Amino acid sequence: MSFARLGLIEPLLAALAALEYKTPTPVQAQAIPAVLAGRDLMAAAQTGTGKTAGFALPLLQLLAAETAPVASNSVRALVLVPTRELAEQVNESIRAYGRNLPLRTCAVYGGVSINPQMMKLRKGMDIVVATPGRLLDLYRQNAIKFGQLRTLVLDEADRMLDLGFSRELDAVFAALPKRRQTLLFSATFSDAIRSMAGHLLNDPLAIETSPRNTAAKTVKQTAIPVDKKRKPELFCHLLKRRRWGQVLVFVKTRKGVEQLVATLQAKGVSADSIHGDKPQPARLRALERFKANEVQILVATDVAARGLDIDDLPLVVNFDLPIVAEDYIHRIGRTGRAGATGEAVSLVCADEVTQLAAIETLIRQTLNRFEEGGFEPEHRVPLTNTAGQILKKPKKPKKPKIAAPSPAARQPAKKAGIAPAKPRSAPGGRSGGRAGGRPAAAGKPSRRSS
């Protein structure tokens, strides 16, 4: 199968040849002819499947065939995305695919001044890639008009809902012409997404390129049980011992991101961060430095990492498990892209067992666990199954009899299990007889630091 056989025009084929795209990915093979034929789409496509070209190529072709000029402040096609990074990313891809066509595109998103965006829109745009909040601001200030709009694309629709854009989306939908083509892409299909699709789409073609809610098959996924407080130490140990190259690391909180970056930098490892407290130019700079291999480790929160497209990223590390299970799929989708193989390593502490079980239910597989010598956790991570059940606490490894060096040897006597244990009953905890009297974390929702 070639792109030419999908009915794409020469200027697009030339751009694809320059990008060295030889064969359409499965989502492209299905989406391109359908969009060219004017169909609505409902596509279950994870990031990394080539979905951007799947909608951008036929969209560019349809727009190139338009003869009427686009009016001032008007837009012919709107691509809604959840984050600023994804807006930049998608806009860049569209520009690359459309480089031989005389079409105008731009990205608009919050966190930066609105005025330059208003100036750009004055000329009229063929394609606008936007985050929902900023788009509404622009619309309410009459900087963008939808009278000429013919296509709406919802990219990563599940993520837009996760991020709480539901109201903004409804306001945007209400402002758009009813007669239009609508393409909806989502990595996961919750009831909320299905209901949104039911309202927005007209006889859509359903595309499912990989089994629903399964993680990219090309990614080798493992979990390393570890005590929460030893995660930074374990990460630094693995970095050295496994000779990791560039790594994208996900951390739950912004504070946690900065702490890890500081730890790494103190050890002389080049690291930078991407999180919501950073201004947009600083985030983009961090990403560019990482892409250019000027920093080895990029540490990010989920929101900020959405839409990062980094070629040949071999490894993603979940320093913390995500709070929303679907984010696990998005995170590991950063590696193993476009058919390449990748690895995702999750550092899991006992507090995170509920999140682990939710992830394993979603991906329908249990993660292989490997304990790292010297980092066996004091607080064991209970076993789980794909039905989301937390089974039982695995047995603690036997302690060496006398004076052999062990991780416990570094702990104070009480923690190393020498102090008499005081049985204690705590809700959800089966701590009877545990050294140190701390309740086990089995089944407890994790406590978050911020």
Positions in the binding site for ligand AMP (CB under 6 A): 21, 23-25, 28, 47-53, 309, 311, 337-338
Q: Are 343 and 199 in contact (CB under 8 A)?
A: no
Which is closer to ligand AMP, CB of 315 or CB of 435?
A: 315
**In angstroms, rounded to a whole number, what is the distance separating the alpha carbons of residues 27 and 428?**
45
Q: What is the DSSP string of 346-379?
A: EEE-GGGHHHHHHHHHHHTSPPEE-PPTT---SS
Question: Can you state the percent helix, strand and coil of the chain, rounding each to 5?
Answer: 40, 15, 45
Residue corresponding to tokens 């407890």: 444
Q: How far is the CB of 247 from ligand AMP (least distance, A)?
A: 18
Which is closer to ligand AMP, CB of 283 or CB of 337?
A: 337
Which is closer to ligand AMP, CB of 334 or CB of 380?
A: 334
Which is closer to ligand AMP, CB of 330 or CB of 434?
A: 330
Sheet with 342-348, side-by-side order of all strands: 271-274, 297-300, 247-250, 315-318, 342-348, 219-225, 368-369
Alpha carbon separation from 218 to 48, 191, 214, 316, 418 (Å, rounded) = 11, 27, 11, 13, 46
Which is closer to ligand AMP, CB of 175 or CB of 310?
A: 310
Q: How far is the CB of 16 from ligand AMP (least distance, A)?
A: 7
Q: How far is the CB of 326 from ligand AMP (least distance, A)?
A: 16
Our measurement of the distance from residue 20's CA atom to the centroid of its chain's CA atoms, rounded to an integer in Å, reads 25
Q: How far is the CB of 95 from ligand AMP (least distance, A)?
A: 13
Q: How far is the CB of 150 from ligand AMP (least distance, A)?
A: 22
Which is closer to ligand AMP, CB of 24 or CB of 225?
A: 24
Q: How far is the CB of 435 from ligand AMP (least distance, A)?
A: 48
The identity of residue 327, as a single letter, is D
Which is closer to ligand AMP, CB of 50 or CB of 342?
A: 50
**In angstroms, rounded to a whole number, what is the distance separating the alpha carbons of residues 276 and 27?**
31
Coil, strand or helix at 40: coil
Q: How far is the CB of 89 from ligand AMP (least distance, A)?
A: 7
Q: How far is the CB of 4 from ligand AMP (least distance, A)?
A: 13
Coil, strand or helix at 449: coil
Among residues 203, 8, 184, 163, which one has the least CA distance to residue 79? 184
- Residue 390 carries which DSSP code? B
**In angstroms, rounded to a whole number, what is the distance separating the alpha carbons of residues 360 and 382?**
13
Which is closer to ligand AMP, CB of 21 or CB of 250?
A: 21
Coil, strand or helix at 20: coil
Q: How far is the CB of 54 from ligand AMP (least distance, A)?
A: 7
Which is closer to ligand AMP, CB of 190 or CB of 210?
A: 210
Q: How far is the CB of 311 from ligand AMP (least distance, A)?
A: 6
Which is closer to ligand AMP, CB of 53 or CB of 79?
A: 53
Which is closer to ligand AMP, CB of 52 or CB of 186?
A: 52
Coil, strand or helix at 167: helix
**Integer-rounded Cα radius of gyration of the chain:** 24
Q: How far is the CB of 156 from ligand AMP (least distance, A)?
A: 10
**In angstroms, rounded to a whole number, what is the distance separating the alpha carbons of residues 192 and 383?**
31
- Encode 239-277: b = buried (16+ Cβ within 10 Å), e = exposed: beeeebebbbbbbbebebbbebbebbeeeebebbbbbee
Q: How far is the CB of 338 from ligand AMP (least distance, A)?
A: 4
Alpha carbon separation from 183 to 105, 195, 225, 374 (Å, rounded) = 18, 15, 41, 51
Which is closer to ligand AMP, CB of 52 or CB of 117?
A: 52
